[in-house]
């Protein structure tokens, strides 16, 4: 059985940096080993949506998500690169990036 998760994060409020961040996430922009690691963790599908500086990440994950796997050597490099564009939400703990959101409504569960 799959599960859908939603996370939120902000971007630095700078149009040029937002454009660069989006370029990194355009088709072919994310390093292949990062994509492979995301899939290896049990993520079946992932989308990132943006409005202004607020981003939402929707993930469909496998029943056994997150799967144990060896560390991806380039993951810290990717995270450091992305962190220059990202800004934690006001309620985030120190060093915390994407914050999981709580679903409060579903049309399928009236």
Q: Give the DSSP H or E segment for 23.
A: helix 15-24
Low-confidence ranges of the chain (pLDDT < 70): none
Phi, psi of 21 (to 5 degrees): -60, -45
Domains of the chain, first to last:
3-100 (3.30.70.1090)
Are 30 and 47 in contact by the 8 Å Cβ rule? The answer is no
């Amino acid at each position: 059985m799959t599960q859908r998760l939603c996370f939120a994060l902000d971007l630095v409020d700078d149009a040029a940096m937002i454009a660069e961040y989006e370029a990194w996430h355009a088709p072919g922009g994310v390093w292949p080993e990062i994509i492979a690691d995301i899939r290896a963790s049990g993520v079946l599908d992932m989308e990132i949506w943006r409005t202004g500086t607020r981003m939402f990440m929707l993930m469909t994950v496998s029943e056994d998500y997150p799967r144990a796997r060896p560390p991806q050597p380039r993951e810290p490099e990717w995270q450091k690169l992305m962190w220059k564009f990202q800004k934690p939400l006001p309620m985030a703990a120190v060093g915390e990036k994407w914050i999981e959101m709580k679903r409060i409504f579903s049309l399928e569960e009236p």
